[in-house]
Amino acid sequence: MNFMCGNNRVDLLFSFEDQNCNMKCSHKMVFVLFLLMATGSAAICQDNYRYSIDLTKVEDDKISVALLVPKLTGETVNFYFPRIVPGTYMNSNYGRFVHELMAFDKAGKSIPVKKTDDNTWEISKANKLYKITYKVEDSWDSELDKKPYTMAGTSFEAGKNFVLNTCGIFGYLEDKRNTAFDLQFTKPAGFYAATGLEPYNSSNTQDMFKAGNADELYDSPMMFSLPDTTSVRVAQTDVLIAVYSPKKLISSAYLAQGLSKLLLATKDYLGGKLPVKKYAFIYYFNGEQAPLASAGAWEHSYSSFYSMPELPVEQIGKTMIDISSHEFFHIVTPLTISSKEVKAFNFNKTVLSKHLWLYEGSTEYDSHHAQVWGGLITPDVFLETLAEKIKNSRSQYNDSLSFTEMSVEAAGTYASQYNNVYEKGALISACLDLLLLQRSDLQYSLKNLKHDLGVKYGRDKYFIDNELFNDIEKLTWPEIKDFLLTYVQGSKPIPYERYFALAGVDYVARETVSKFSLGHDDNLRINTEQEIEFESDVTVNPTGVALGYKKGDIIWKVGGKELSILSFREVLKDYLASLKEGDQMFVTIKRKDAAGKMQVLDLKTPAKKQARVAEHLLRWTTNPTEQQIKLKNKWLNVGCR
C-alpha cells in the first residue's frame, strides 16, 4: 500500500491494522524504515492518528473502527467524541452512538477504560496506549432519543451507501486535537468517496485520506456509494456534484445544470471569483429507508451535505437550488467571517456566538438576493420570498426577543426560536442592505461590508463577539451600529415599512382581500410519512366545506399535479393563479375508510373567491420617487446585467 508521511510517499508492506511489525519484516521494509528515519519523517508518521474502517463489514447497523494512536505520555488520557459541532446549534452527543470501546498496548494487552460521560472515555496507562477499537451505530436508524440532525448524522446501508459525517465516526485524544489524521477505508468494489478531502491513495477497493487536525476532519463529510457524479468548472473553481438517488429520480447531471447557473451568478455577485478552489455538493436522496426525522443540509468549508426525500425533479429541483445556494454562501459567513466561538470551536462544551444574524441570516439573504441580482428569479418572486419571511417570523416566533440573546442560547433556552434565523435573520440583512445603500448614496452595500469584513479577518483570524458592532461602525457609519444595537441586540421589532420604503416597497401589515383558496386555512400538518394532512376539520373555510374535507385527509394532488412537502406552496400558488371564477377546482385526497384501508378520492367544487385577511404583504409602490427607483435598481441590479 502507499502511505503518505509528510511530503514523502513510500511503499509499505503492512496496513494500518498491523499491530506488530517485528523482525520478520522484509529487507525492503527495513530499508524503507531506515529511509524514513534518515529523512526525519518517521516521527511525523508516529505522531499521527491512523484510523482504519472496513465498509464491507457491517453488523447490526454498526461499523467497526480501529485507531493506532499518536505517541502519548502520562498516566491517563481522555478520548473524546464531540458534544456539538459548528453549524448545527444543538447538542448531538455523538459518543452515545459509540459502543464496545476498548484500548490495547502494543503487545495486544487490554488497558482499562472508563466512560465518564456521553462523549468521554478515560483511558489508563496513556504512555502504553497503542490501539483503540470501537463500534459505531448508524444514527439514522438508532432508537436513541434526541438524535443529531439527519444531515449531521450517519447511515450505513451495507453494499449501497454510507453517510459518514466524520464527527460521528472519529474521536480525538485530549491535547491532541491539532494532530493530523490518516484515514484508511476498505470499501465495496467500485464505490466512490464523495468528499471535500482529496484522497492521497485510491483504488477500486480502498481510499486513503489525510486531515490536518480534528477541525479539518469534522469539516469534511463523506459519502461512499456507486458514483453518480458530475464536475463543473466555474472561473477558477472545480465543483463536484455527487448524488445518491436509489430510484434514479434525480441525477448529478440534472443538478449540475441548475448549480452551474447559480454558481456563475454567485461568482459575479462576489466580485468575479469564487472564494474556494474546490468544492463538493454531496446529495443523499432517501428513496428506500423509512422517512427520516428531518431533512436539510449542513455547510462546510469546502463541501456541503444534503439529506432529502427522493422526489421527482419537478417537485424538488427548485428547492434544491435554493438550499444549495444557502449552503454555498456559508463559505463567506461563518467560514471566512466569524468570531472566536466559531473558529476556535469547543466540541465538548456548548459555547455559541451572538451573531447568528450574520452567519445564518445574512447567508439566507445572500442565497436569494444573489438569484434576483443575477437574473435567476424575478424581483416579484424575491419580494414574495421576503414577505413570506415576515409572515413566518411574526406569526411563529417571538419578534421582541433580542437576536443576539437568542443566538447564544440557540442550543438551549431558545432552541424553539432558532429557525427564526432563516426568517428574521434574512430580513435583518435585507433592511441593513437597504440602509447601507441609502446612507452611501448607492456606493456601499451589505456585499461590500461582508467583503471588507472578510479582508479584515479572513479564514485564519476571528473577531471578538462583543466588538463586532464597533468594527462595523468603523467600516460604515454610526447609523449602522445604531440599527444593529436597536433591532439585533435590542428587543424592538424592525419597522419594515421604514426600510423597505427606501426601495419603493410598501409594507402592509393587514388587509382584506378576495382570492381563491384551496379551503384549508393553514389547517395542515406534516405527518410521520412526510405527507400533507388535515390536522382538524373545524377551521376549514367555505371552499373546504364544499370540497368536503375531513380530519386526517391527506392532500395528494391539486389540479392533477402531485404534491410534496417541498413543492406544496409553489404548486398551490401556480394552480390558484390559473383559476377563473366558476372553474372546477380539483383536489385528490387519500382517506381511510371504516376498515382503515386507504382510499383515493377526487374532490371538486366550482372555484369561488373568498374574502380573506392577508397579513404582512410587500408590494411595489404605485408612484415611486426617482430616488426610490434608483435605490431599487441598484439593490436588485436592474439594468446592470
Q: Quickly count: other Cβ atoms within 10 Å of residue 297's Cβ.
A: 23
Assess whether pLDDT exceeds 50 at residue 202: yes
378-403 pLDDT tens trace? 999 999 999 999 999 999 999 999 99
Q: Which residues contact 21 (CB under 8 A, 6 or more apart)?
A: 14, 29
DSSP H or E run through 215: helix 214-218
Give the separation between CA 231 and CA 612, rounded to whole angstroms: 49
Q: Which residues contact 190 (CB under 8 A, 6 or more apart)?
A: 204, 226, 227
For the ranges 482-486, 591-595, 611-615, the one whose mean pLDDT is highest: 482-486
The residue behind cell 488497558 is 111
Closest to 87 in 3D by CA, of 161, 165, 144: 165
pTM of the entire predicted model: 0.84
Assess whether pLDDT exceeds 70 at residue 10: no
Task: Please give the grid coordinates belonging to residue 188.
Answer: 465495496
- Quote the pLDDT of residue 324: 94
Give the separation between CA 622 and CA 450, rounded to whole angstroms: 33
38-72 pLDDT tens trace? 333 333 345 899 999 999 999 999 999 999 999 99
What does the DSSP 8-state code read for residue 105? -
Assess whether pLDDT exceeds 60 at residue 16: no
What is the DSSP pairing of strand 278-286 with strand 303-309? Answer: parallel
**Residue 98 region by backbone torsions, left for phi larger than 0, else alpha for psi between -120 and 50, else beta:** beta
Task: Please give the grid coordinates belonging to residue 5.
Answer: 508521511
Closest to 503 in 3D by CA, of 377, 382, 389: 382
What is the DSSP pairing of strand 172-173 with strand 76-80? Answer: antiparallel
Give the separation between CA 483 and CA 461, rounded to whole angstroms: 26
91-120 pLDDT tens trace? 999 999 999 999 999 999 999 999 999 999
- Quote the pLDDT of residue 538: 58
DSSP string spanning 62-76?
EEEEEEEPPP--SSE
Tell me the longest C-alpha to C-alpha distance in the chain: 91
- 162 close to 223: Cβ distance less than 8 angstroms: yes
- Quote the pLDDT of residue 565: 81
Helix (H, G, I), strand (E, B) or coil at 54: strand
434 to each of 84, 373, 480, 536, 637, how far by Cα in Å? 35, 14, 11, 42, 13
Q: How many helices (H) and strands (E) does the chain have?
A: 18, 31
- Quote the pLDDT of residue 42: 36
Give the separation between CA 49 and CA 173, rounded to whole angstroms: 9
Report helix angle 313-329 to 362-373, nearest 10.
Answer: 120
What is the DSSP pairing of strand 584-592 with strand 598-606? Answer: antiparallel
- Quote the pLDDT of residue 482: 98
* Residue 313, phi then psi, degrees to nearest 5: -60, -30
DSSP H or E run through 184: strand 181-186
- Quote the pLDDT of residue 335: 83
460-517 pLDDT tens trace? 899 999 999 999 999 999 999 999 999 999 999 999 999 999 999 999 999 998 889 8
Domains and CATH numbers, the chain: 1-46 (no CATH), 48-222 (2.60.40.3650), 229-321 (3.30.2010), 340-507 (1.10.390.10), 517-608 (2.30.42.10)
Mean pLDDT of 214-241: 96
- 550 close to 539: Cβ distance less than 8 angstroms: no
Assess whether pLDDT exceeds 70 at residue 634: yes
Task: Please give the grid coordinates belonging to residue 324.
Answer: 444549495
Give the separation between CA 61 and CA 55, rounded to whole angstroms: 11
Radius of gyration of the chain (CA): 27
How far does CA 285 lie from the centroid of its chain?
Answer: 14
